[in-house]
């Protein structure tokens, strides 16, 4: 079952496989947020900087969505963390996305498969999934 424990385990797994060279600067957590139409995931840091929290769109609890998609969404947020956005690590870029820095980092770290599956899925399926979850009739 995809719950917050599943997400935490996924974070540990991804970190060990793809981000093991990075020293975490604070407590890093992940949990599901509500189902939302626009954002697949997000990251924020507490004001005292002691904790960073990744939020993953609740739509991804659906087991029919390929796990690679969730991995890619989580990895995307971990890249922001590594780049010093919403984390206590040194800021590496002026802007979190400009210049394809997230894509480049994912590819560099061996996450190209997840990246591609997520991009293809998002393009094709996100609106459909959102609709079948019955939440966004007014928008679609
Ligand atoms: Zn991003």
Which residue in this structure is represented by tokens 């995931």?
A: 41
Tens of pLDDT, residues 115-135: 999 998 888 776 676 666 655
The Cα 82–Cα 135 span in angstroms is 33
- Per-domain boundaries in the chain: 4-132
121 CA to middle of ligand 1, Å?
Answer: 17
Tens of pLDDT, residues 84-105: 999 999 999 999 999 999 999 9
Residue 139 predicted with pLDDT over 50 = no
The Cα 125–Cα 120 span in angstroms is 8
42 CA to middle of ligand 1, Å?
Answer: 7
Is the CB of residue 54 less than 8 Å from the CB of residue 11?
yes
3 CA to middle of ligand 1, Å?
Answer: 22
Two tokens, residue 111: 């996450």
Say whether domain 4-132 belongs to CATH 3.30.2010.10. yes
- Which string of DSSP letters, residue by residue, matches 109-136? TT-HHHHHHHHHHHHHHHHHHHHHTT--
pLDDT, average across residues 65-77: 95
Range in 22-26, 41-45, 60-64, 126-130 with the lowest mean pLDDT:
126-130
**SS3 assignment, position 38:** coil
Predicted confidence at residue 136, as pLDDT, reads 46
133 CA to middle of ligand 1, Å?
Answer: 24
């Amino acid at each position: 079952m995809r719950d917050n424990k599943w997400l935490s385990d996924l974070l540990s797994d991804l970190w060990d496989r793809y981000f093991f060279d990075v020293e975490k600067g604070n407590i890093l957590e992940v949990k599901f947020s509500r189902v939302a139409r626009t954002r697949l995931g997000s990251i924020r840091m507490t004001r005292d900087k002691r904790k960073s929290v990744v939020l993953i769109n609740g739509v991804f609890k659906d087991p029919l969505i390929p796990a690679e998609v969730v991995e890619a969404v989580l990895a995307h947020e971990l890249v922001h963390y590594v780049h010093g956005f919403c984390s206590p690590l040194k800021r590496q870029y002026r802007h979190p996305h400009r210049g394809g820095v997230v894509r480049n980092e994912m590819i560099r770290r061996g996450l190209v498969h997840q990246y591609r599956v997520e991009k293809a899925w998002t393009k094709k399926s996100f609106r459909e999934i959102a609709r079948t979850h019955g939440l966004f009739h007014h928008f679609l």
